[in-house]
Amino acid sequence: MNILVVGGAGYIGSHMIKKLTLEGNSVVILDNLSTGFRDAVKYGRFIEGDIADSKLLSEIFSSNKFDSVMHFASYIEVGESVSDPSKYYINNFSNTLNLLDAMVAHGVNNFIFSSTAAIFGEPEYSPIDEKHVRAAVNPYGESKLMVENALKAYEKAYGLRSICLRYFNAAGADPDLEVGERHDPESHLIPLVLQAASGRRDSIAVFGQNYNTPDGSCVRDYIHVDDLCTAHIDALNYVLSELGSKQFNLGNGNGFSVLEVIDVARRVTGRNIKIKDADQREGDPAVLVADSALAKQELNWEPRYDSLETIIEHAWCWEQKHWS
């Protein structure tokens, strides 16, 4: 197959283009490098550009016959989305419509969308399944939810089929260590903890220890980035089979608290990791855990790396290789 991967120079996208290529697909990568890295693109044909550029999109679609598009080119920082909502609504929603319009104009009818658990807002129950009410509480989650809603309309009007994959907490690194997690600045818990282990930061902040959880810290569901990519392959096969559009929650179904993550990281690294107490962050739910039964049933997807130790081991090996 010939696949356009938008945002392929980013964390998940760079892993995705490797898996697609090794499975025999032809991959074209479009990325503006605003948050991604050119040297993370180890496979495929790279084009530097933005999905806001309608002329460029028309040129790309006119000169390639794509079977599907995978879209990872979103801004993802919740706090920034609150302080600068325009940036998120323009890129995550408006620019995505630009991409969808280019697909419709050139007859590309299969779309895999990188969505998020943030569309659910404050959870009413846990684990969260696909029937849970969607009530985003920040512009980041709202911008993703707006895309999901638009995709329903695009299917009805234009026949564009889509799969929305709602990640909980992507983590880990390519087991071969060709690519890994690199955000600037970093905001995800596991790489921040490992930066404290490697000495790149003095300590790790724990935002609140009085939640209604066993140890008082927030509980989250961590899914290995390689397992996410496998789910995208499964979703691609699903949508190409013309089975219609679907939305799936992706996680391991197991919750680990912030303090548990730090303890596991101490065991994996053999390093002392200092904790700094910090105030709770507004909008941080106590527990966010996925119910991925539907993805397992309909996509025949099964996570391989469902051990938190393995996820952290891979991330630690990447931390040591990339920063040592």
Backbone angles phi, psi at 309, to 5 degrees: -60, -45
Residue 222 CB: number of other CB atoms within 10 A? 24
Point out the catalytic residue in the list 88, 140, 211, 305. 140
Burial of 68 per CB tally in 10 Å (0-12, 13-18, 19+): buried
Cβ–Cβ under 8 Å, residues 303 and 168: no
Residue 305 is among the residues annotated as catalytic for this protein: no
Residues in contact with 3: Cβ distance below 8 Å, sequence separation at least 6, in sequence order: 20, 25, 26, 27, 28, 66, 67, 68, 69, 70, 236
Residues in contact with 233: Cβ distance below 8 Å, sequence separation at least 6, in sequence order: 19, 20, 23
Residues in contact with 27: Cβ distance below 8 Å, sequence separation at least 6, in sequence order: 2, 3, 4, 5, 8, 17, 20, 21, 43, 44, 45
Q: From CA 105, how far away is CA 213, in angstroms rounded?
A: 50
Q: Residues 66, 168, 207, 264: is their CA dihedral positive or negative?
A: negative
Residues in contact with 278: Cβ distance below 8 Å, sequence separation at least 6, in sequence order: 205, 206, 207, 208
Nearest C-alpha neighbor of 191 from the set 219, 208, 170: 170
β-sheet bridge partners, residue 247: 164
Alpha-carbon distances of 4 from 73, 166, 266, 295, 302, rounded to whole Å = 12, 20, 40, 23, 25
* Residue whose token pair is 């992507």: 170
* Residue whose token pair is 């503006």: 32
Residue 292 CB: number of other CB atoms within 10 A? 28
Catalytic positions are 140
